[in-house]
A and B are shown apart, each in its own frame.
Chain A
Amino acid sequence: MTADPNAATQAFPPPPHRRDSPARYLVPALVAAAVAVGLGVYGKVHDPAGTAFNLAGFSSTGAVKSWLATTAFFFALVQVVSAFMVYGKLPGPSWSATLHRWSGRIAFLVAVPVAVHCLYAFGYQTYSTRVMWHSVLGCLFFGAFSAKMLLLRSERLPGWLLPLVGGLVFTGLTLLWLTSALWFFRTFGVST
């Protein structure tokens, strides 16, 4: 008979993190997979329109997208810095959490029109290495972002999880920018 001296404490409600169902991780993971696969399937199945509407003041939709993507990338850099501030790794103002939230929202909302245009006009393509990576990462990025947003709603996550997923989102956006906007600027010049 192994009488555990600590047994009595188990009569108390156990700490919440022990009771957490795997749904906390499963739901974001499944949603992320669904978003990524859904975007990819839409891009593959949908007949690319080849074109979409343009914004006034820009020479081409390529320029519009490149500048929107660059804006998103800029706010993504703000994201990284403000995340370090929130975690106390960098000295930051008291409103660094707000900064992190809103720079993230702006980056995401600016990236959405770019993705819509990509999916509507071009779809999922694999005819060159750059295009293949861009297609794959574009789908993964929005999946990872969805997971990040849903994970934020859970409390008492393992401390490494949010930085890891956030890092993935940032890496994805960086690679997306490198394979599209940077390519555009290098190919066609930095134009509006």
Chain B
Amino acid sequence: MKRPGPLLTLLAGLVLGLFMLTLNVTSGTKTASSSYSEASQSPSSSPSPKKSAPASPTPTVAPSPTPSKSAVPNASYAGRTDDDTASVAVTIRDGKAVAYFCDGRYKEAWLRGPVADDGTMKLTAPNGAVLDGKLQQGKKIRGTVKDEGRKYAFTADKAVKPSGLWRATAKVRGAKIDGGWIVLPNGRQTGIVTRDGKVSAAPRIDPETGAVTVDGQQLTAQPVTP
């Protein structure tokens, strides 16, 4: 007498859900990296630097004595400090780097500087923080951040869109809002919002659109480039 229809409906939904989940788990990184390669290739102005980028650390490929645009491949890197208290993200464009160091509570620093042909960088922030890093085989950056007298060692792996470095600035009801986010490849977010100089943890951004609501105001965070 029992009707099987409703149960079959539930089971179909369960199977479909599990199927989609499996698809996500197995193909999630693949689609992400393919969208990344599109994104990373479009900003480079000419196709040649892109091709020569992996080989260019040898000086023979880069003919100009000044830091060549192709010396270090354009990419983003994101990771955690070794003590797992803060996130570090670095974005490299045309031999220049911008980095964000953020513990998601009150400590943050925006650091900028050039990247040498051998992949080493020394980035500095207005507040005195210093990031020393070295790009290793174009796959990750190992280094340290010195902030407020403490030194944090970190490893930042190559980050594919939408992970990386995001920033949103706006004026909400007269208050100046400055938000920075690091989205790690596993989706974890670390962010800080500064309202007129007052620092607090940031709400999550939508990693696909950069949309975030701060104090009831809809903002859109942008990927940061040097």
A1 to B61, CA, bound (A): 112
The SS class assigned to the A binding surface is helix
Q: Which residue of B lies closest to A186 (CB)?
A: B218
Q: How far is the CB of B128 from chain A (nearest CB, A)?
A: 32
Q: Tell me if A50 and B12 are in contact (CB < 8 A).
A: no
Q: Tell me if B208 and A109 are in contact (CB < 8 A).
A: no
Instruction: Give A99-140 as 1s and 0s: 1 = Cβ < 8 Å from B's Cβ atoms.
Output: 001001100110011011100110001011010000000000
The chain A residues found within 8 Å of chain B, CB to CB, are 47-54, 60-62, 101, 104-105, 108-109, 112-113, 115-117, 120-121, 125, 127-128, 130, 146, 148-150, 152-153, 155, 187-188
Interfacial chain A residues near B213, Cβ < 8 Å: 127-128, 130
The chain B residues found within 8 Å of chain A, CB to CB, are 1-3, 5-7, 9-10, 12-13, 16-17, 20-21, 23-25, 27-28, 31-32, 162-163, 183, 186-189, 203-204, 206-209, 211, 213, 218
12 contacts across the A-B interface (CB closer than 8 A): A50-B189, A50-B207, A51-B31, A51-B162, A51-B187, A52-B24, A101-B5, A113-B17, A120-B25, A127-B213, A153-B6, A155-B1
Q: Tell me if B13 and A108 are in contact (CB < 8 A).
A: yes
Q: Tell me if B24 and A152 are in contact (CB < 8 A).
A: no
A62 to B206, CA, bound (A): 10
Q: Tell me if B24 and A116 are in contact (CB < 8 A).
A: yes
Q: Tell me if A109 and B162 are in contact (CB < 8 A).
A: no
